[in-house]
Amino acid sequence: MKFINQPGVYIRGIGQLKVEKDSELSIREMGALAIIRALEDAEIEKVDAIYLGNMLSGSISNQQHLGPLVACEAGLKGTESVTLEAACGSGGAALRVGFMAIMSGLCENVVVCGLEKMSHSDKDFIIQSIATASDWEKEGSQGETFVTLNSKLMEMYIEKYKICPDSFGMFGVNAHKNAFTNPNALFQKKITLDQYLNSKYISGLVRLYDASPVCDGAAAIVLSKYPAIKNRPQVKVTASASSTEYVGIADRNLPLAAEGVRRSGQKAYEMAGITAKDVDFFELHDAYSIISTLSLEAMGFAAPGEGWKLAAEGDIFLDGKIPISTFGGLKARGHAIGASGVYQAVESYLQLTGKAGANQIKKDARMGMMQSIGGTASTTITHVMMRE
């Protein structure tokens, strides 16, 4: 087989919580529960390190220093535990550090957990807190939010490629259809294209169903030097790559080229020894429909100006050429910021092991790719996973 004996890191176990609008659990309890579930699934009791992905706990929950807090709550006092922050890509950043810890030989087993508790009575405060991941001097302090910034990208795209603003509708339809059968999703309801078209505009041409929601969630994954327990499919992370781009959109020469996404993806392709044609599904960072479009183009699944066609023509569905958001994605499973990248890893594992149930893609899933993005594609972290 073409990809047998690829170097990489094994996935031993997974754990996740249902994404909610307002979890009754504290952030330490959320993280600890996800970790305990992942360790139980992996059938191990101890790990060498814990890597947490989180962006907002310090500002929204007044709680920094999550590492020892969550480790002790999970019964792992004494274990190395640190927090990684890369804005909305924080979960992917934690996964990358876990991957590197094992590949370097310093660790044999680690647990990666993404967690975010965004419940807060002041919604404007949440929006402003998230906006700190923009270029604050040039964007956030001038009143820009991620809704307005993504609206600008969408308007640029529509103007450059002369397409109808309605062209992005099937991204939301697909996400909600897949979330409907995901018991851990926030929005378990289907929408029609007409509902998308009739939904309100929240900024410029960005409709309600183009944007991901504010929510709470936690997920965890155990990575190991050693294969999974017997009688289970063996899944490896075979590539991990990260790239940056100017944080401020106005500083970029080609903002619609998503050059940070492309660079990160190309590194991952080369590391895994694959091309876009080898990828069976793509868990992309669909926080906004325009980011889905740009990511599909930057990763080589569509030509510039044609990423939206993959959605419009059904190629992103579970039975399509390149399924995306297979459990609802950030749009409908929910975007609990620091947790999103780890939810993607959990969902990719379920696809590759044939345990996705009603959300299983229709072709035999052997190669999956996931991407975590911080800001408006200013940090991009790409991982490739494969079933041996």
Active site residues per annotation: 88, 335
Tokens of 136: 């604050």
CA 384 to chain CA centroid, nearest Å? 13
**Residue 333, SS3?**
coil
Angle CA(177)–CA(264)–CA(165) in degrees, nearest 5?
45
| CA max distance for the chain | 58
Taking only Cα atoms into account, the Rg of the chain, rounded to an integer number of angstroms, comes to 19
Identify the helix (H) or strand (E) that includes residue 116.
Answer: strand 109-116
Cα separation, 199 vs 185, in Å, equals 21
Cα separation, 265 vs 241, in Å, equals 7
CA 171 to chain CA centroid, nearest Å? 15
CA 199 to chain CA centroid, nearest Å? 25
